[in-house]
Chain A
Amino acid sequence: MEKTPDKISSSSEKNEVLNLKETELRLGLPGSEFLDKKATGFSLFGKDLKDENNKNIFSGAKRVFSDAIDGSNKWGLCTNRGSEVDLGKNDVLFSPRGANGGVKNTNILQSSHPAKEVPPQPVEGKKDENGSTASKAQVVGWPPIRSLHKNRLTTNLSRNNDVKGKSESSCLYVKVSMDGAPYLRKVDLKTYCSYAELSSALEKMFSCFTIGQYASHGLRGKEDLNECHLMDLLDRSEYVLTYEDKDGDWMLVGDVPWEMFTDMCKRLRIMKGSEASGLAPRVIEKCKSQN
């Protein structure tokens, strides 16, 4: 069951319990302890006076940006606290925010999402919840490798890890429609490596269509965002993500492994839950039971 600590009602004790200090959205990069000393901490690259005696300037006080990297999946940023959304098991289609889908390896502020989101956990050499050893928090510019080279390795690595459905083409654009939206969008499935990334990207893309409803309903002070996604809460109606496969059938997103999905998906449709009966009965039931 997905749980995202609700940042709206976050209290500092909650932060401590979940050790979210590092992931608290602040101006500045996680891991930069000097931020505490500044009144306004908008400081992307700079660092304060370094402790001259401290030779090991790498020990977490450096400006860093985090990439939660697990072995096979370079850009596979974990959703909250390291666990990937397992869409096979539950019917979550839009994850509660946690992942910055496909954020590029640039030294900018982590792409911010509205205040309640939790940026990915910076990993500093400790094992993440998946049990795999995460890599060290990175310093910009180190190791001195060109981005082109990095990108080549990324795709090579994932290919070498028995990724199925290797495609010859370099991008895979599919149309995405959302019921009630005036126009469609296109996404390149190749830029995502997991359902979590895709769903968060779609959320970003289509959130403008729910903002009006957002404003009118106001924020909900729920303690837990369960697996019903953000739009659900706001709108009181389900959205279900479906796709058309090679045979022309409309399928529920999330049943098959990601690579198989990208092979089979021809277009996506964000369906209103009321129309989705027969596709995702459990989702509807679950949300109904909350309301």
Chain B
Amino acid sequence: MAYSFPEEVLEYVFAFLSSHKDRNAVSLVCKSWYEIERWCRRRIFIGNCYAVSPQIVIRRFPEVRAVKIKGKPHFADFNLVPEGWGAYVYPWISAMVRSYPWLEEIKLKRMVVTDESLELLSKSFKNFKVLVLSSCEGFTTDGLASIAANCRNLRELDLRECEVEDLSGHWLSHFPDNFTSLVSLNMSCLGSEVSFSALERLVSRCPNLRTLRLNRAVPVEKLPNLLRRAPQLVEFGTGAYSAENQTDIFSNLVEAFSGCKHLKSLSGFWDVDPAYLPAMYYACTGITSLNLSNATVQSPDLVELIIQCPNLKCLWVLDYIEDAGLKALPSYCKDLQELRVFPSDPYGAEPNVSLTEQGLVTVSAGCPKLQSVLYFCRQMSNAALITIARNRPNLIRFRLCIIDPQAPDYLTLEPLDTGFGAIVEHCKELLRLSMSGLLTDRVFEYIGTHAKKLEMLSIAFAGDSDLGLHNVLSGCESLRKLEIMDCPFGDKALLANAAKLETMRSLWMSSCSVRRCPSSNVEVMDERGHPDSRPETCPVEKLYIYRTVAGPRVDKPNFVWTMDEDAVLRLS
């Protein structure tokens, strides 16, 4: 059946589709749409670097300009994935160097990046513009020097919470004098001091600089120099925010901040001296995002700053804010959409601040746009969770971490099943949920019944039996990522829901009771030896199941076993 749309028209229409889901859907319509789409796709997203090989990607999409790849499972953030597990970017870069000479953008998350990779990419992609490394590791500041020296058209260099071996601050001085294209620089995770004069000159000659996130080593007295040279900044992260008593620092800061009329985001704030916080007040009216997760100051000082930001949408703060501080949010920051409260002393046996479930309840009641929550606290009740759920049915992300594993409802001493049940029942658009506290199989019944849009679920120390896991796997239609630690789930639920696993990106189970693995493409991490070498009754340490078209890994370390060596290639 012929139809009259020329390819060019279709290509033009497809160019309006930016979402990967839409692009994927379009490519399934028919063979010719598949062909047209694959030639014009410029941006690809690979959610699991082992789900597909570089060769397969390149074969299908020959004209890519931007890649985003994720590596290790999320629990790697909490030291649950042993060193040397994998997620090396080098094979990707070396393959792309051959096939995508015009590549402009690389965004990586939880991958191992070496200096060699960075040097290769800096020398091979002539039009390279954007490098974003989130939670990556394996490289040193020498790698950054290659990027600075060789990427003549670089716009963004964004190192988010990376573990960089910091040999020196000299890398920054490698940006050539005629380099002026920088738009975004985030070096907040680096330790050593860069040459301040090099930094000043860089900032001065890059008129398009919008984002500058400094590292802790930049002292507060240097900030005015930088801000004066970049009044167009939209996102700014300070270094250490305190100094020996020098009165003119404060006035310089005030002057500099008031010159920045476009600031929307502030971060940094290591070593805060509260006396310097008011210097920012003039810049606060436009602020929509405030990251105070390094600011170890007390509640009144935090509140003083926060209430200067009436347009605040996103607040990250330590629990020093306390319930009293959170109470201020509904009155002053009515537009708040995202709240993250981190623990200042997570390992202390006793609470060091007065932050309880009440703080969250208050914010949920008074901030109608609140949709994303990450909250660490030490006590919770079903009543509070039910109230939160009723107040905020528009929640999309709800991550609650009660510090004490298996802590029950502190008022009734019951499990928190009904509380979380209320969350999934009322918040029909919930995409991501992390639970904690005392939870039985019952909560999984609620989740399986109600959480139909849920895409990512994180569970720890919860449930009684395989029935819990079974309810989740059979009920959560949209589930893509499931991560479980220390729950009494075993083989039965996995075997009964093997087909479900193929619709998901990945499943992580550590310290559970899984003994036999349900299907191929299963990785078992066990540093004690091959799973078969131990008694049948002995559970595996860690299980990571993911769908893949790439077959078994070729870069496995010696503590990872793929359970079926003759893995059948299946199309996803």
Contact = CB atoms under 8 A, between A and B. Distances in A.
A140 B296 CA distance: 25
B88 interface: no
Contacts of B78: 140-142, 144-146
B77 interface: yes
A156 interface: yes
Contacts of B541: 44-46
B538 interface: yes
Given A134-B349, A157-B296, A106 B405 contact: no
A44 B79 CA distance: 13
Interface string B158-174: 00010100100000000
A50 B513 contact: yes
B350 interface: yes
B527 A107 contact: no
A109 B163 CA distance: 22
Interface stretch (B92-100, B304-312, B340-348): B340-348
A152 B485 CA distance: 25
Contact of B294 (A71, A138, A145, A152): A152
A49 B294 contact: no
Contact of B527 (A45, A71, A156): A45
A141 B528 contact: no
B401 interface: yes
A50 B537 CA distance: 11
A145 B399 CA distance: 13
A145 B345 CA distance: 11
A237 B537 CA distance: 56
A159 interface: yes
Given A139-B405, A149-B342, A47 B528 contact: no
Interface in A102-159: 105-107, 125, 133-136, 138-150, 152-153, 156-157, 159
Contacts of A52: 488
Contacts of A97: none
Given A63-B511, A146-B161, A156-B271, A46 B346 contact: no
Given A139-B486, A144-B78, A46 B347 contact: no
A150 B318 CA distance: 12
A168 interface: yes
Chain B binding surface, main DSSP class? loop
Contacts, number: 132
Interface in B529-571: 537-542
B79 A147 contact: yes
B406 A55 contact: yes
Contact of A148 (B163, B271, B350): B163
B197 to A, nearest CB: 17
B294 A156 contact: yes
A17 B461 CA distance: 35
Contacts of A107: 79-80
B219 interface: yes
Contacts of B118: none
B539 A46 contact: yes
Interface residues of A, number: 52
Given A44-B527, A58-B406, A156-B294, A141 B217 contact: no
Contacts of B406: 55-58
Contacts of B77: 144, 146
Nearest to A48: B538
Contact of B344 (A45, A63, A147, A153): A153
A197 interface: no
B487 to A, nearest CB: 9
Interface string A149-180: 11011001101100000101111000000000
Contacts of B404: 136
A139 B346 CA distance: 12
Given A125-B349, A141-B485, A106 B376 contact: no
Contact of A135 (B75, B217, B347, B527): B347
A106 B349 contact: no
Q: Which 9 A-B pairs have the closest CB atoms?
A: A141-B78, A135-B347, A156-B296, A45-B541, A141-B80, A170-B191, A46-B541, A135-B349, A144-B78
Interface of B: 75, 77-80, 135, 161, 163, 166, 189, 191-193, 216-217, 219, 240, 270-271, 293-294, 296, 342-350, 376, 401, 403-406, 434, 458, 460-461, 464, 485-486, 488, 510-511, 513, 526-528, 537-542
Interface of A: 42-50, 52, 55-58, 62-63, 67, 69, 71, 74, 105-107, 125, 133-136, 138-150, 152-153, 156-157, 159-160, 166, 168-171
